[in-house]
Amino acid sequence: MADYSLNVVERTEKGTPASRRMRRAGMIPANVFGADKDPHMVALNENELMQLMDDEGFFSSLISLEGLNERQDVLVREVQMHPYKPKPLHVDFQRVQADQKLSLNVPLHVVNDERAPGVLAGGTISPLMTEVEVTCLPANIPDHIEVDVGAMEIGDTLHLSDLQAPPGVEINADPENDQPVVNMAGTKPEPEAAVAEEVAEEAAGEGGEEAGAGEEEE
C-alpha cells in the first residue's frame, strides 16, 4: 500500500510554452513511465507537491497517483528544481510492480549516539553519507536504514558492511570498496598510567632544577 497520494490530471499539451502556462496556473508538469507501459503525461498541484516534498520519506516511498483511469503506484525518480527558487519545475515518476524488485536511495538515520562511548568521552559523530542505495520489492521499501553508533569509540569508523538492513532489503555495496558511513572524531584521552608517569617526570625535573639553582647561589 502506498504511503502517500497525489492528485493528478491528464496533460495533453507538451513543450516549453505549455509548461510555462501550466506553472503560472499553479500546476507542475510530470511524466509517468515504467512497468512496460507507455509514458504518461500528467500535471499536479504545486502546493500539494511542495507540502509532500518537505517530508524526507516522500522521496523513498510509494506514492499513489489518483485521478487517472486507474490508480498507479509510483516512486519519485527526479525532481527538476528552479535554478534559484525553492520551486519544482518538473517531476518524473516511475511505476512499480509488486512482484518486481527495484533499486532506490533511502535515508540513513544515526541512532544511539547519546550513549556512544566516544560521545561520552567528548567525541563528535561525523556522518559521511546521508543515504544509501537498496534493492527490494515495493512492499519492503524501508523508511530509512539505521546506523547504530552506540558502541563507537573515538577514532572508530562504520562502513556499509557494518549496517544491518531490514528483512527483504539488500544494501547495494561494492565489496571491493567498503565505503565509510560515519566516524567518531575527537582526541583520544591518554591512559591514566601514562598521565601519572608524565606528571611524576615533570615534578622530578622541576625539583632537580631548583636544587641546581641553589648550588649555584652558594
Mind listing the pLDDT tens digit for each residue in 119-174?
999 999 999 999 999 999 999 999 999 999 999 999 999 999 999 999 999 999 98
Instruction: Please count the residues of the chain.
Output: 218
Q: What is the mean pLDDT of the chain?
A: 88
- Round to whole Å and give the CA distance between 64 and 131: 23
- Round to whole Å and give the CA distance between 163 and 202: 46
Long-range CB pairs of 193-196 (<8 Å, 24+ gap) are none
Task: Specify the pLDDT at position 208.
Answer: 53
- Round to whole Å and give the CA distance between 54 and 181: 24
- Looking at the chain, the whole-number percentage of residues with pLDDT higher than 70 is 85
- Asked whether the beta carbons of 141 and 61 are under 8 A apart, the reply is yes
Instruction: Place 200 in a pLDDT band, splitting at 50, 70 and 90.
Output: low
Task: Specify the pLDDT at position 3.
Answer: 84
pLDDT over 60 at 117, yes or no: yes
Q: Is 79 helix (H, G, I), strand (E, B) or coil?
A: strand
Mind listing the pLDDT tens digit for each residue in 46-69?
999 999 999 988 999 999 999 888
φ, ψ for residue 115, nearest 5 deg: -115, 5
Task: Specify the pLDDT at position 68.
Answer: 82
Distances (CA, A) of 62 to 74, 141, 201, 218: 6, 8, 66, 90
The grid cell for 160 is 556499509
